[in-house]
């Protein structure tokens, strides 16, 4: 089926070339970073994780969101999701690829990454994250490929794939829980030291990922004959609405604990992010944008008339995605580091090379996504009209 990715219109190839060019730019800046050191980024002694790890955290959520399609379709026989599931699985694959790339560009000694496997440390969440992420990539590749291959032949997938499909469900939950555990168990960082971290992560994952999926499914419908189905998109929209409500609610809970308890350690990071602290307010405009977008998109999603109109639904999803990207891909990470253990404020802002490398990794992710989607679309177009049995 791979050959289907190599046949396409001029626009398809132009799109791939564009992404390839961005990826090359990213690679060039990564080479600079590799030679000079991570000092080329805006990171420093007090803020040791920034854009790269933020993107990683956000994308693990996007990857996990495929489970929101798998559970209804495979576990509860929700046939409406029959066509859209493959889009979710392929999105998960490209998201995990981006996660792995973001980790690799963030490492100080990337050549030594094998040490994680040579000297496994069972207490280290990074070790478990590596294991579950790679496992998830493998599962999604396997499941996506086999089910799509069977659809192409117009038959039901082989029975042995079912255990892998069922495995992907708790596995998806686990990848994001483990990622949350990276933060939630650190004793010195009160902004992160909250039991609700994992729940927040999952809620924002199940809102952000499917939101992106809606956008992608509508794009796919526009540029090809693959229609995931109006009902499927509406169902995903409802999932996004509920998950976003949970996410905003959980954030509100965090605010309550931080400010009602009055413990300065808990509140200071929130103050830095939303009002500025000690003269530093770099992140304030971003965080408020995130809040406003979250409020607007949530309202839009909760009004049925707006949600049913696919035009306004897409707008809501775009705002939601941006809001969550800012909150999880940036604010969450920086907030944990500022103020530092000495209660000093040393701000962080990404540099140009850092940003270009990030853009490059996103380009590679979208490249993988485009190639996989091209295969899925072609198969669906070829088999249009044949009943799919899952």
Binding residues vs another protein (CB under 8 A): 36-39, 43-46, 48-49, 106-110, 112-113, 115-116, 118-119, 121, 123-127, 130, 182, 186-189, 264-265, 336-337, 340-344, 346
Cα–Cα–Cα angle for 125, 127, 128, rounded to 5 degrees: 65
Q: How many Cβ atoms from other residues are within 10 Å of residue 28's Cβ?
A: 14
Cβ-Cβ contacts under 8 Å for 6 (sequence gap 6 or more): none
Pick the closer one to another protein by CB: 39 or 304: 39
Pick the closer one to another protein by CB: 52 or 171: 52
DSSP of 93-132: HHHHHHHHHHHHHH-SSGGGTTHHHHS--TT-HHHHHHHH
End-to-end CA distance of the chain: 19
CB of 121 to another protein, least distance (A): 5
Cβ-Cβ contacts under 8 Å for 331 (sequence gap 6 or more): 273, 283, 286, 287, 290
Q: Which long-range contacts (CB under 8 A, 24 or more apart) does 50-53 make?
A: 50/333, 50/334, 50/348, 50/350, 50/354, 51/329, 51/330, 51/350, 51/354, 51/355, 51/358, 52/102, 52/103, 52/105, 52/106, 52/354, 52/357, 52/358, 53/102, 53/103, 53/106, 53/333
Q: Give the separation between CA 78 and CA 363, rounded to whole angstroms.
A: 33
Pick the closer one to another protein by CB: 76 or 119: 119
CB of 34 to another protein, least distance (A): 9
CB of 25 to another protein, least distance (A): 22
CB of 124 to another protein, least distance (A): 4
Pick the closer one to another protein by CB: 49 or 145: 49
CB of 32 to another protein, least distance (A): 12
Q: Give the separation between CA 124 and CA 127, rounded to whole angstroms.
A: 5
Pick the closer one to another protein by CB: 190 or 390: 190
Cβ-Cβ contacts under 8 Å for 268 (sequence gap 6 or more): 277, 339, 343
Q: What is the largest CA-CA distance in the chain?
A: 65
CB of 346 to another protein, least distance (A): 6
Pick the closer one to another protein by CB: 42 or 276: 42
Pick the closer one to another protein by CB: 13 or 349: 349
Pick the closer one to another protein by CB: 344 or 382: 344
CB of 286 to another protein, least distance (A): 21
Helix (H, G, I), strand (E, B) or coil at 280: strand
CB of 57 to another protein, least distance (A): 12
Pick the closer one to another protein by CB: 53 or 59: 53
Q: Give the separation between CA 368 and CA 244, rounded to whole angstroms.
A: 27
Pick the closer one to another protein by CB: 26 or 339: 339
Helix (H, G, I), strand (E, B) or coil at 2: helix
CB of 48 to another protein, least distance (A): 4
CB of 143 to another protein, least distance (A): 19
* CA distances to 82, 254, 270, 336 from 199, in Å: 28, 12, 19, 17
């Amino acid at each position: 089926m791979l050959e289907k990715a190599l046949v396409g219109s001029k626009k398809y190839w132009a799109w791939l070339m564009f992404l390839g060019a961005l990826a090359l730019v990213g690679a060039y800046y990564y080479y600079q970073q590799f030679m000079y050191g991570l000092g080329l980024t805006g990171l420093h002694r007090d803020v040791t994780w920034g854009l790269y790890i933020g993107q990683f955290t956000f994308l693990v959520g996007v990857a996990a969101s495929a489970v929101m399609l798998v559970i209804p379709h495979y576990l509860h026989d929700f046939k409406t999701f029959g066509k859209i599931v493959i889009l979710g699985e392929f999105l998960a694959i490209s998201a995990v690829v981006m996660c792995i790339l973001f980790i690799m560009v963030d490492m100080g000694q990337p050549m030594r990454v094998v040490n994680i496997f040579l000297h496994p440390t069972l207490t280290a969440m990074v070790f478990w994250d590596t294991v579950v992420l790679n496992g998830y990539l493998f599962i999604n590749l396997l499941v996506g490929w086999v089910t799509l291959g069977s659809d192409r032949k117009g038959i039901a997938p082989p029975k042995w794939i079912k255990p892998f499909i069922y495995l992907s469900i708790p596995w998806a939950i686990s990848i994001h829980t483990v990622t949350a555990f990276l933060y939630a168990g650190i004793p010195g960082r009160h902004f992160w030291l909250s039991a609700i971290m994992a729940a927040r992560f999952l809620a924002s994952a199940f809102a952000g990922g499917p939101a992106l999926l809606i956008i992608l499914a509508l794009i796919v419908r526009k540029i090809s004959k693959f229609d995931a189905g109006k009902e499927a998109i509406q169902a995903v929209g409802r999932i996004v609405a509920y998950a976003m409500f949970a996410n905003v609610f959980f954030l509100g809970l965090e605010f309550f604990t931080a400010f009602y308890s009055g413990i300065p350690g808990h509140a200071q990071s929130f103050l830095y992010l939303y009002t500025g602290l000690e003269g530093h307010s770099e992140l304030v405009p971003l965080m408020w944008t995130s809040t406003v977008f979250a409020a607007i998109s949530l309202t839009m999603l909760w009004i049925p008339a707006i949600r049913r109109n696919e035009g306004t639904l897409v707008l809501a999803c775009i705002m939601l995605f941006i809001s969550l990207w800012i909150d999880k891909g940036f604010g969450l990470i920086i907030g944990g580091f500022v103020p530092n253990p000495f209660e000093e404020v040393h701000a962080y802002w990404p540099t140009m090379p850092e940003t270009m490398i990030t853009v490059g990794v996103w380009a590679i992710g979208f490249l993988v996504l485009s190639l996989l989607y091209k295969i899925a679309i072609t198969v669906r177009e070829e088999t249009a009209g044949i009943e799919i049995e899952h």
